[in-house]
Amino acid sequence: MKVGVLSFAHVHAGGFARLLDGMEGVEVLAADPDTDLAAPGEVRGREFADRLGVAYANSYEELFAWGPDKVVVCSENVRHRPLVELAAAHGVDVLCEKPLATTEEDGAAMVEACRAAGVRLAVAHPVRFSPAYTAVRAAVRSG
């Protein structure tokens, strides 16, 4: 399976790239062409990919030309929509970092784009299975 990582802006991007790259049968390609948006001193782009030891594409177009089966969107929250819509246009399933969108309009458009393209859209909520959150959920449910 081929998995693309779109952007290194989100704190979890490196973890996704590294862990996916370590899975048997998974090829990873990352693209983070918007390094001009990085905070001063923040390592992004090819340099970050090299530190992680993952393959790197210079553009999102190059990444989609590679033919990913799935992508993980790890851009700035306000930039989720264009990347999700780009993935949908290429017929690629999407895991998007939380929050899905910063506006109701963007969220609805992303859901509709994926629905119309027949691709899956999921939101990454990595702590929902944490023992601490499970305990809080149980406490709330028990009153």
Rounded distance, CA 46 to CA 130, Å? Answer: 32
Task: Note the pLDDT of residue 134.
Answer: 82
Structure tokens at 93: 């399933």
CA distance 26 to 131: 28
The third-level CATH classification (topology) of the domain covering 2-141 is: Rossmann fold (3.40.50)
CB atoms within 10 A of CB 111: 15
Distance, in Å, from the CA atom of 61 to the CA atom of 89, rounded to the nearest integer, reads: 12
pLDDT digits (tens, 9 = 90+) for 9-51: 998 899 999 999 999 999 999 999 998 888 889 999 999 999 9
| Residues written for the chain | 143
pTM of the entire structure?
A: 0.87
Q: Which has the closest alpha carbon to 29: 79, 70, 78?
A: 70
For residue range 44-100, list pLDDT tens digits in order.
999 999 999 999 999 999 999 999 999 999 999 999 999 999 999 999 999 999 999
pLDDT at 127 over 70: no
Domain ranges of the chain: 2-141
Cβ–Cβ contacts within 10 Å for residue 37, how many?
Answer: 14
